[in-house]
Amino acid sequence: MLYIIGLGLGDEKDITCKGLEAVKKADRVYLEEYTSILTVGKRALEAFYERDDLIVADRELVEQGDEILRDADSADVAFLVVGDPFGATTHSDLALRAKNANIRCRIIHNASIMNAIGCTGLQLYSFGETVSIPFWTETWQPDSFYDKIIGNLSRGLHTLCLLDIKVKEPTLESLTRKKREYEPPRFMTVNQAASQLLQIIEQKQSTELSTEKRLSAESVCIAVSRVGSSDQKMVSTTLKQMTDVEMGPPLHSLVIAGTLHPLEQEYISEFAL
């Protein structure tokens, strides 16, 4: 059987009892590290699971190869995912490939940022479409996520912004060589996300006819970092001030607040800048 197991958001102890049982009996265990990270590394997981053979699975191994599904029709294979197994579409694809290969697949769920964002005190049913904010480059500066934020604001809904991470990204120079070289890991901060949003706002101001429900430098937003860990941090402030907020190590997420209920307003005031 193929087990796709959520690890939760904090450290090695956030795995469920069912998940830990599956890990301990699996013949092979893969650890996916490119869609998210825990606050602890591979060694801490191996020590807690009492096995020293975790296989780190990068994007190429998961999305292009059949290594993970190898012999999974006759052996137990565990695939570990930070957060919940279906927090990223790539893992749905793995489950579908297993089904097409007549391999039994069991999903063991856990907490993800999609529900743990309730730690901000904002009601989950008041969130609209979640968006991803990618790192910009000099030649690539997409802004389609901005329109989704505006759509949520027009309905009074909050927006969870998932911030880009770059793990095992090949350097431009190495793409033309046979031997791959990789850039150091990068994790977008709320400061970078807020800065990119402010640049988009400046560009859009001249073309937007209505100011109602428009994102602005004074819009209320909430930054969260290392959700689920012992040093979890939350700050509420304006989008402009967010560019100077220090949230510490990754991972960071950003929430653009929609229409705030009085209870939500009271809750976020407890960690206002």
Query: What distance in Å separates the CA atoms of residue 57 and residue 111, rounded to the nearest whole number?
Result: 21
Q: Which residue has the higher pLDDT, 227 or 180?
A: 227
Query: What distance in Å separates the CA atoms of residue 251 and residue 162, rounded to the nearest whole number?
Result: 10
Q: Torsions phi, psi of 45, nearest 5?
A: -65, -45
| 84 annotated ligand-binding residue | yes
CATH architecture of 114-270: 2-Layer Sandwich (3.30)
Mean pLDDT computed over 165-191: 82
Residue range(s) of every CATH 3.30.950.10 domain in the chain: 114-270
Mean pLDDT computed over 131-151: 94
Q: pLDDT per residue over 85-119, tens digit each?
A: 998 777 899 999 999 999 999 999 999 999 999 99
Query: What distance in Å separates the CA atoms of residue 181 and residue 199, rounded to the nearest whole number?
Result: 32
Would you tell me how many other CB atoms lie within 10 Å of the CB of residue 216? Answer: 12
- State pTM to two decimals: 0.91
77 touches 3 (CB < 8 A): yes
Query: What distance in Å separates the CA atoms of residue 170 and residue 175, rounded to the nearest whole number?
Result: 7
Residue range(s) of every CATH 3.40.1010.10 domain in the chain: 2-111
Band the pLDDT of 65: cuts 50, 70, 90: low
| 122 annotated ligand-binding residue | no
The fold for domain 2-111 equals Cobalt-precorrin-4 Transmethylase; domain 1 (3.40.1010)
54-68, 154-168, 202-216, 222-236, range with the lowest pLDDT: 202-216
Query: What distance in Å separates the CA atoms of residue 22 and residue 218, rounded to the nearest whole number?
Result: 48
266 to 227, 233, 234: CA distances (angstroms): 20, 17, 14
| 40 annotated ligand-binding residue | no
Peptide bond into 175 cis (omega under 30): no
pLDDT of residue 132: 96
Both tokens of 30, joined, read 């893969």
Q: pLDDT per residue over 198-253, tens digit each?
A: 999 998 876 654 555 689 999 999 999 999 999 999 999 999 999 999 999 999 99
Class of residue 211 by CB neighbours under 10 A (exposed 0-12, middle 13-18, buried 19+): exposed
187 touches 202 (CB < 8 A): no
| 147 annotated ligand-binding residue | no
| 81 annotated ligand-binding residue | no
Degrees, nearest 5: CA angle 182-187-191: 140
| 112 annotated ligand-binding residue | yes
pLDDT of residue 258: 97
Mean pLDDT computed over 53-68: 87
153 touches 213 (CB < 8 A): yes
